Amino acid sequence: MNKQMINEWRHFLNEGPVNTQELSDEVIALLFSDELEDIMSKSGMNESIRDRAKNLAKKYGVPLTVALSLLTGAHAGQKFADFQNARQPAQVANEPQPGDYSYHSARSSRPPGYSDLSNRESIEQAWSDLESLKRERAPVSGAAPTLIDGQIKNLKFAHIPADIIPEEAALPMSQMPASEYRQMLEARLMRGQQEVIYLKNMIFGDTGKWSSGSGNEQFRIEGNYALLPPEWSIAHEVYADAVESRIKDVTAHVRENPDSRQEIYQQLGVEDDTQFHEFMNDQLYKIGRQ
């Protein structure tokens, strides 16, 4: 690629500094722990949580009590499983459930013009439909070793920000509309804290699992960057939204319920207000929300 094309790409891409830190599994387990939720539940339910639970119950057709437990982390996985098992006959207990790829794939419809395309043609068409959207440096460490002009180069990662991907856009790798793919991930997180940890490790682990290339190419190469698929961007946003929401709920509870403040501090391993807010702000920074 010549120098002029690289300069044009750099103008198109936001190359500003990015945060590539990540939350530890231990911190996520603390924030979404049943013990922390039990403390919060004893002091009453934050109104913002209740409002979101009502929307969740309506969206997925679950009782409000189940939606509350799923949002707050209070034995969420077990409550969700109990509800799913109770509402279904035994003979269909193994059918795909919300959060399973097969469940959401079956609900997806392809955009006009895709029905006659092969799988590979659909992938290329999806990328073509997203071609005009801006790219940004992806908030991940590591690099993609790539053979370019006979030399191995370690390329940084770029991505398309999730907030500019149209909901109806067909995603190239999953072959789902963006809105359905998001709902799939959100439904998976409803199963409990382990799903939050799993999604985090998928996002920040081996980025090779998020290949965007076709044929023999692992990644699509644009300028000096390896482009992650839009599925990665949506997964990153869903994960960050879940963590940010939890941090805000805990912070609001501490502010509104001083009697349970010390119990929460003890669970989180902090001693006072200063350490608590430093801890919470540090986690928000790591997910790019500070």
pTM, two decimal places: 0.79
Hey, what are 288's tokens? 């790019």
For residues 78 and 68, give the distance between their C-alpha atoms in angstroms, rounded to a whole number: 13
Average pLDDT of the chain is: 82
- Report the 10 Å Cβ neighbour count for 239: 25
In the prediction, which pLDDT does 91 show?
A: 42
Q: Which residue has the higher pLDDT, 114 or 45?
A: 114
Cβ neighbours of residue 251 closer than 8 Å, sequence gap 6 or more? 277, 280
pLDDT digits (tens, 9 = 90+) for 67-87: 666 565 544 445 455 555 555
pLDDT digits (tens, 9 = 90+) for 108-159: 887 888 888 998 999 999 999 999 999 999 998 888 888 877 888 889 999 9
User: In three state form, how does the secondary structure of 60-123 look?
Assistant: HCCCHHHHHHHHHCCCHHHHHHHHHHHHCCHHHCCCCCCCCHHHHHHHCCCCCCCCCCCHHHHH
pLDDT confidence of 7, banded at 50, 70, 90? very low
What's the start-to-end Cα distance of the chain, in Å? 37
pLDDT digits (tens, 9 = 90+) for 90-115: 445 578 888 999 999 998 887 888 88
In the prediction, which pLDDT does 88 show?
A: 53
Q: Is 132 exposed, middle or buried (0-12, 13-18, 19+ CB in 10 A)?
A: exposed
Range from 10-14, 76-80, 196-200, 215-219 carrying the lowest mean pLDDT:
10-14
In the prediction, which pLDDT does 233 show?
A: 97
Residue range(s) defining the domain that contains residue 212: 3-286
For residues 11 and 44, give the distance between their C-alpha atoms in angstroms, rounded to a whole number: 51
Please list the alpha-helical segments (H only) found in 206-272.
Answer: 230-256, 261-268
Number of domains in the chain: 1
Among residues 51, 26, 18, 1, the alpha carbon closest in space to that of 193 is found at 26
Phi, psi (degrees; rounded to nearest 5) at 144:
-110, 105
